[in-house]
Amino acid sequence: MQYFSTKNPSEKVSFQQAVRKGLPDDNGLYLPDQIPTLSEEFFQNLPNLSLGEIGWEVAKQFVENEIPEDNLKALVEDTLSFDIPLVEVEKDVYSLELFHGPTLAFKDVGARFMARCLGYFNQQNNRQVTVLAATSGDTGSAVANGFLGVEGVEVVLLYPKGKVSPFQEKQMTTLGQNIKAFEIDGSFDDCQRLVKTAFLDRDLSEQLGLTSANSINVARLIPQSFYYFYAYGQLIDKTDKPIVFSVPSGNFGNLTAGVFAQRMGLPIHHFVAATNVNDIVPNYLLTGDFLPKPSVQTISNAMDVGNPSNYARLHYLFNGSREEFANDMTGYSYTDEETKVALQQLNGLDYTGDPHGAIGYLGLKAYQQNHEVTGVFLETAHPIKFKEVVEPVLNTVLEVPASLQAFLDKQKVAMECGSEYEVFKEKLRNL
């Protein structure tokens, strides 16, 4: 299996090279040169397979012999050391709870897998790398936890000042060791721009051995396909209706991973791309115009993205055709007020959601108004990570898990920085 840039399909690299580089020199994104189809036997046996068994079968298609099968199997099992339960919320509506990992967010899956892949590769050649990642919330905490203490890897995280939740901020600024954080005076888009500019700065990139842990890195993206198979396996005996996944979306990595699963043969009937008012992709699906714009701050901050990176991958996978795109995907966007109403609706069904999952629920319900389907919405983070929103909306007090409380008791350490690249570059070099 080789990987090519969305901007230059003729130039190909290995899985290890794609993981280490993160971003091609031409500022495209890496895609596998083929998306393999899994066997019919595998799909028939899905209900009997564990999450780890599913993850190993999927991962080895993309990694092949670059990590020996026994090592890869252990790596995947270690990555997926927690459950991802499918919870029935109401008739034909299920929540796939992706928040049972160490940092209580879906990004634990991708971050842990990537960290372990880089750790394995580093053991083979002793090359120092610096993971550079922008975050609008949960990416930072998941990456920090996943890479903590990994030999040969330094981690630098950029997050927008005042635009992440207190829990999210503490989870990425209190760990120390090989984890460093920049508090950027700007938006997530500014953070992402700084990261991309650094990767394209060849001297800096080579000096620090830069790689990315955002969903622009294929090692973050591929493992996020695992849980679509797992959810389908849990659901297949419970319904005879077509199955739809509603994915709360910001940078669109999670949804791109779902498309990977579908292309591998998983019979997903349709996707719902559910966003907040940062509605770049839903607008594209309606009009055919992809129009990035400055992001707007919302209560679902992990989706506050005005120029979603993974659109480039989706655009390529759908052959640049809005019609093909829209055939597999419907987009909806929602305001903060609509999100709060959805949280209350879920609470009335004895289910406590977070703002991102609530938007996924709204998108699914909208699609079900005109389609007879069974739907799964992705619940991407534990509600406690957004207690400042959830508690007043539901008029309740959420219990703080012990794992999060431990972070709150620690001292934040972050370097403040503006959004000018040259200033950031100098500070990065002097860390």
CATH number at residue 367: 3.40.50.1100
Q: What's the pLDDT tens digit per position in 27-58?
A: 899 999 999 999 999 999 999 999 999 999 99
Asked if the structure places residue 353 within a domain, the reply is: yes
pLDDT given for residue 35 in this prediction: 95
Q: Which residues contact 353 (CB under 8 A, 6 or more apart)?
A: 95, 342, 343, 346, 347, 361, 379, 383
pLDDT given for residue 260 in this prediction: 97
pLDDT given for residue 431 in this prediction: 80
User: Does the pTM exceed 0.85?
Assistant: yes
Q: Which residues contact 345 (CB under 8 A, 6 or more apart)?
A: 361
**How many C-alpha atoms does 188 have within 13 Å on its Cβ side?**
29
Asked if the structure places residue 56 within a domain, the reply is: no
List, as own/partner pairs, every contact residues 316-322 make where C-beta atoms lie below 8 angstroms and the sequence separation is at least 24, other chains included: 316/6, 316/31, 317/31, 317/256, 317/259, 317/263, 322/284, 322/285, 322/288
Gap between the Cα atoms of 316 and 314, Å rounded: 5
Asked if the structure places residue 93 within a domain, the reply is: yes
125-129, 134-138, 157-161, 319-323: range with lowest mean pLDDT? 125-129
Q: What's the pLDDT tens digit per position in 66-91?
A: 999 999 999 999 999 999 999 999 99
Tokens of 229: 């198979």
Beta-ladder partners of 381:
105
pLDDT given for residue 416 in this prediction: 93
Asked if the structure places residue 356 within a domain, the reply is: yes
Q: CA–CA distance from 417 to each of 171, 424, 427 (Å)?
A: 19, 7, 8
For residue 397, how many other CB atoms are within 10 A of its CB? 8
Question: How many percent of the chain have pLDDT more than 70?
Answer: 99
When divided into structural domains, the chain yields a total of: 1
* Mean pLDDT, rounded, for 253-273: 97
Q: Which residues contact 423 (CB under 8 A, 6 or more apart)?
A: 417
Instruction: Classify 121 as helix, strand or coil.
Output: helix
Asked if the structure places residue 385 within a domain, the reply is: yes
Host domain of residue 372: 83-106+222-394
Asked if the structure places residue 348 within a domain, the reply is: yes
pLDDT given for residue 126 in this prediction: 66
Phi then psi for residue 219, to 5 deg, are: -75, -15
Phi then psi for residue 22, to 5 deg, are: 75, -55
Q: What's the pLDDT tens digit per position in 327-380?
A: 999 999 999 999 999 999 999 999 999 999 999 999 999 999 999 999 999 999
Tokens of 28: 């495209």
* Mean pLDDT, rounded, for 142-168: 87
* Mean pLDDT, rounded, for 251-279: 97
**CB 332, CB 303: distance < 8 Å:** no
Tokens of 426: 């100098």
Asked if the structure places residue 346 within a domain, the reply is: yes
Q: Which residues contact 260 (CB under 8 A, 6 or more apart)?
A: 35, 221, 222, 225
- The reply to whether 107 belongs to the active site is yes
Q: Which residues contact 273 (CB under 8 A, 6 or more apart)?
A: 247, 249, 252, 255, 281, 282, 285, 329, 330, 331, 332, 363
Catalytic residue among 73, 107, 170, 387: 107
**CB 247, CB 269: distance < 8 Å:** no
pLDDT given for residue 123 in this prediction: 79
Asked if the structure places residue 294 within a domain, the reply is: yes
Residues counted in the chain: 431
